[in-house]
Amino acid sequence: MSDRGHEQGSEQRPAATSALAIMVLLLIGMFAVPGAQAQYTFTALYDFQGTTDGGNPWAGVIADSAGNLYGIAANDGAYGHGAVFEVTPSGQETVLYSFCPLGTCR
């Protein structure tokens, strides 16, 4: 849970789209009357294409004070072995590092 009342996570979408999405779960009505059900709004910030942008976001994400989300994709990336990524609040994804099985990758 972020300090803004948002819960961040990664989620794989159904096979129908085969895309992966970083989801932000917005908690609306956090201070609702006891016993009342909380309402949630899901917002897809970025859909991974499963290419150099990474694939299969893994183990959730962390947020910085500006609301940027950071995580690890288990597959794809520049060398096909995963990537470290950043997603901004506006949905812009940047690969910060691509994992490589060879010592010659830079």
pLDDT tens string, the chain, 106 residues long: the values are: 445 444 455 444 443 333 445 555 444 444 555 666 667 777 788 888 889 999 888 878 899 999 999 999 999 999 999 999 999 999 999 999 999 988 777 6
Instruction: Tell me the pTM.
Output: 0.66
Quick check: is 104 in a domain? no
Quick check: is 72 in a domain? yes
Quick check: is 1 in a domain? no
Query: Residue 73: what residue type?
Result: A
Given this model, what pLDDT does residue 86 score?
95
Buried b (16+ CB within 10 A) or exposed e, 40-68: eeeeebbebeeeebbbebeeebebeeeeb
Quick check: is 60 in a domain? yes
Quick check: is 103 in a domain? no
What's the total number of domains in the chain?
Answer: 1
Instruction: Supply the range of the domain harboring residue 58.
Output: 6-98
Quick check: is 106 in a domain? no
Quick check: is 68 in a domain? yes
Given this model, what pLDDT does residue 7 score?
47
